[in-house]
Amino acid sequence: MNKPQTIAVLGLGHLGSAIAKRLAGQGLDVVGWTRSIEGDPNEAVAKADVVLLCLFDGAACREVLDRVQGSVKAGAVVLNTSTVAPAEAAELARRFGPNYVHAPVLGSVRAMEAGAVHLLAAGDAEPFDTVRPVLDALGTVRRVGDAATAAALKLVANSSLAGAVLALRDAVQQAEELGLARDEALDVLEIGQLGGLAARKRSFLTQPPTASAAADAEFTVGALAKDMALLAGASAKPVPSAAELADAAGDPGADIAVAITTPAVDEAVLEPLRAYIRGHATGDPAHFREAFLPTAHVEGIRDGAFVSWPLDQYCSLFSGQPAVDEATRTRRIDSVRVHGTVASASMTLHHGPDTFTDIFLLVQTEGRWRIANKAYHRRPAG
């Protein structure tokens, strides 16, 4: 196995810079280039044995490779560590044939600096042997069947990270609602299933954000949201974290910890839902008129038939008095997701022998939130 003489690292963001420093620290000859600074990438790749890409997405990979393809010397290997869609990875593999190795990275900037990342590498035997010293210098290598598989596995791995970020966010928000000190809550969270993430992000979670927060990011909200959008597109299945992360922080360049520290849902969004609960608790339809827009409809299956009631008809079902078994009834807001001026919410209601799941669409209009429509499902006892 011959060690490559020169590696051109194209893309010197947070991870790309860590890759370049790691390789140089391992005695490899590295030349770098970044799109954010004027310079000719053709000069960087002209003498390189390995052209290593560490770029934001598939579009950036295509743009940069279009610029340099004519300068890549014969026999050089394109080593792509970027996170792209499976179809994009497959297209790049077809474009460069046997001289392409796809090797997305599992791990943070800190892990890269320590040579502790994992790389999912796909490529033919000869080019893989060429880049093996580079991969070994960065971390642990796991070979997979082809470029599309490597890309898909990376997205699945990041899906678990997105889930952990949002689960930790929910735990932190609930701790705040319960009046717990942030440090005390994190002490306990570090013991549990989210312990690794809580420990790694503790400094971000306990210190006020600074002007250098984006510069210190290990993995950005924007990058993780992009990866979840790629996963949703590739799988054709809903990936809720794609929308949640996109809405979680105003600065896509901030560390993923910013998504963990987003405030709980604003009280203004909850107010129409609470008015709805008051309507059921009291039997007073005035609370429903406060909660709903006048144009709202309530829809579901009643006595085996689909019903779609306008608000007036729905309100007519209530007598103005609580149900006789009101003391045993419970209602719980399960989820609220806000997307600008619209939101969705769900609620569980235990009413006597029946359990209802209510799904709401809310809109912000004339300075307040109202329920635009409700659909429900009734689960009878037994």
The reported pLDDT for the residue numbered 209 is 59
Paired tokens of 261: 């520290």
160-182: per-residue pLDDT in tens?
Answer: 999 999 999 999 999 999 999 99
Segment 61-120, tens digit of pLDDT: 999 999 999 999 999 999 999 999 999 999 999 999 999 999 999 999 999 999 999 999
Which amino acid, one-letter code, is at 84? V
Give mean pLDDT, residues 362-382.
Answer: 93
Give the global pTM: 0.86
Examine the pLDDT at 295 and tell me if it is beyond 90: yes
Q: Which residue has the higher pLDDT, 281 or 265?
A: 281
| pLDDT, position 305 | 93
Q: Residue 39 has what pLDDT?
A: 86
Res 251: pLDDT: 77
What is the predicted pLDDT for the residue at 199? 95
Q: What is the mean pLDDT of residues 243-254?
A: 77
Element (H, E) at 92: helix 86-96
Task: Report the C-alpha gap between 14 and 103 in whole angstroms.
Answer: 17
Question: Which of 185, 338, 344, 184 is CA-nearest to residue 263?
Answer: 338
* pLDDT on residue 381: 76
Q: How confident is the model at residue 294 (pLDDT cuts 50, 70, 90)?
A: very high
Confidence band for 248, pLDDT divided at 50, 70 and 90: low
> Residue 286, SS3?
helix
Q: Average pLDDT, stretch 236-241?
A: 91
Query: How many C-beta neighbours within 10 Å does residue 59 have?
Result: 11
- Quick: pLDDT tens for 15-59: 999 999 999 999 999 999 998 887 899 999 999 999 999 999 999
What is the DSSP secondary-structure string of 135-189?
HHHHEEEEE-S-HHHHHHHHHHHHHHHHHHHHHHHHHHHHHHHTT--HHHHHHHH
Give the whole-angstrom CA distance, residue 146 versus residue 125: 12
Q: Does the pLDDT value for residue 366 go beyond 70?
A: yes
pLDDT class for 210, splitting at 50, 70, 90?
low
The percentage of the chain sitting over the pLDDT mark of 70, rounded to a whole number, equals: 96
113-122, 137-146, 249-258, 366-375: which has the minimum mean pLDDT?
249-258
DSSP secondary structure string for all residues of 12-54: -SHHHHHHHHHHHHTT--EEEE-TTS---HHHHHTT-SEEEE-
In the predicted model, what is the mean pLDDT of residues 266-277?
96
Neighbours of 316 (CB within 10 A): 10
pLDDT bin (cut points 50, 70, 90) of residue 211 is: very low
Task: Give residue 208's pLDDT band: very low, low, confident or very high (50, 70, 90).
Answer: low
Domain ranges of the chain: 7-145, 152-260, 267-379
Say yes or no: do domains 7-145 and 267-379 share a fold: no
Per CATH, is 267-379 categorized as 3.10.450.50?
yes
What tokens were used for 170?
């929910």
- Laid out side by side, the sheet with 368-379 consists of 305-310, 292-302, 368-379, 354-365, 342-351, 330-339
Q: Residue 382's pLDDT is what?
A: 63
CATH fold of 152-260 reads N-(1-d-carboxylethyl)-l-norvaline Dehydrogenase; domain 2 (1.10.1040)
Least confident of 1-5, 17-21, 261-265, 320-324: 1-5
- For the domain made up of 7-145, the CATH class stated in words is alpha beta
Give CA–CA dist 283/226, Å, rounded. Answer: 46
